[in-house]
Amino acid sequence: MADSSTEAVYIIIPVHNRKTTTLTCLQHLQQQGDLERFQVVVVDDGSTDGTSEVIHLQYPQVHLLQGDGHLWWAGATKLGMEYAYGQGAEYFVWLNDDTLPESGTLQKLLVFCAAHLQTIAASQCYWGGVFTYGGQVRRRLKQIPHYAAPGDISHCDALDGNLVCIPRAVVDDIGYPLSQQIPHYGSDNMYTWLAKQTGYELSLLGDAISQCPRDHQWVSWLISQEPIWQHWQGMLSPKTNTYIVGHWHFCIRYWGIPGVIPFLTPYLRLFVITVLRCFLPRRLLWLLKCQFGGAEKSDLRNTSFRESAARSGIQGSHNATYQDAMAGSPQQRE
């Protein structure tokens, strides 16, 4: 991509109370030359750890926007995209601050989008040689993690928002992420899914590699140390996948009327587990977990993972995110 066109490329990084991680990301971009090559927008959603102050001092070339602490991932990303759109951006690049693109990855995404109109392109993320984030495919009423082996291009139904290149035309066609309906969990998948419904191809590039640890950890409701009421309380928090407002909008928009089934499933499961935890001793709960624990995960997802990994010889992480208890950026925050 010619230097003259990179001025219209805006990298949008939503952050929240994760100063060290954010600064590591910016330092990495600087070392790669991307901090000077592209426009970088950091949206600090109310950090109290001095993130904005340090960025202002160490990286004055970064466009720094402020949130009120209630933007979450979708709102912070929307604010960054609105700013970039007003500055004449031709490409918006979503980047989580814990995602470190390898040399040339950003250029590969941009070149691919420029050569393939009506396309959104995403980076394949790994950590320690293990797949972490990439894309999603729909299979019946389940969403299955999908990835692209080196040299491959995979077509997805939705993309994870760790590192995604979005042409300006997408905003013209569908607007910005649904920050009110789906403020945090799943907003990246929903936005790219809506783009696909409008006619855009969602491409996951196996050669556009980034490093990003999987910090969505699967938590067993059956044997977790947390009181069961805390899991019910998660229905009121945008940071969890059981947040009732966001989960409803996601399921209905993603699957239509049949989405009522995946919407109700986690709450029915939690109800059953609540009854079991109230009346059964912990030792028996462990036995149940060992006997039937696979039911709390997606067998379909794991099977797809194993089949794909066997074909490419790459390990896959089976730890899908069922309980978002992260701390960090608006997609990974307290």
User: Could you report the per-residue pLDDT of 57-103, keeping only the tens digit for each?
Assistant: 999 999 999 999 899 999 999 999 999 999 999 999 999 999 999 99
Task: Return the ∠ at Cα 133 (arms to 263 and 13), rounded to 5°.
Answer: 95
Q: How many residues does the chain have?
A: 334
Give residue 217's pLDDT: 58
Q: Where does residue 266 fall: left (phi above 0), alpha (psi -120 to 50 degrees), or beta otherwise?
A: alpha
Mean pLDDT, rounded, for 190-212: 96
* CB burial string 197-219: b at 16+ within 10 A, e below: eeebebbbbbbbbbbbebbbeeb
C-alpha span between 185 and 246 (Å, rounded)? 7
Judge whether residue 285 has pLDDT over 80.
Answer: no
Domain ranges of the chain: 3-211, 228-296
User: Could you report the per-residue pLDDT of 13-49, keeping only the tens digit for each?
Assistant: 999 999 999 999 999 999 999 999 999 999 999 999 9
Mean pLDDT, rounded, for 249-267: 94
Higher pLDDT, 274 or 165: 165
C-alpha span between 184 and 107 (Å, rounded)? 28
Give residue 14's pLDDT: 96
**Lowest model confidence (mean pLDDT) among 3-7, 105-109, 133-137, 303-307:** 303-307
Residue type, 283: R
Three-class SS state of 165: strand
Q: Beta strand pairing status for 119-127 and 100-101? A: unpaired
Judge whether residue 197 has pLDDT over 80.
Answer: yes
What confidence tier does 232 reach under pLDDT thresholds 50, 70, 90? confident
Judge whether residue 1 has pLDDT over 90.
Answer: no
What confidence tier does 322 reach under pLDDT thresholds 50, 70, 90? very low
Three-class SS state of 96: coil
Give residue 136's pLDDT: 94
Are residues 39 and 84 in contact, defined by beta-carbon separation less than 8 angstroms?
yes
CATH 3.90.550.60 fits 3-211, yes or no: yes
Are residues 75 and 67 in contact, defined by beta-carbon separation less than 8 angstroms?
yes
Are residues 91 and 170 in contact, defined by beta-carbon separation less than 8 angstroms?
no
Q: At what angle do helices 260-279 and 282-292 cross, to 10 degrees?
A: 140
User: Could you report the per-residue pLDDT of 261-282, keeping only the tens digit for each?
Assistant: 999 999 998 898 888 878 777 7
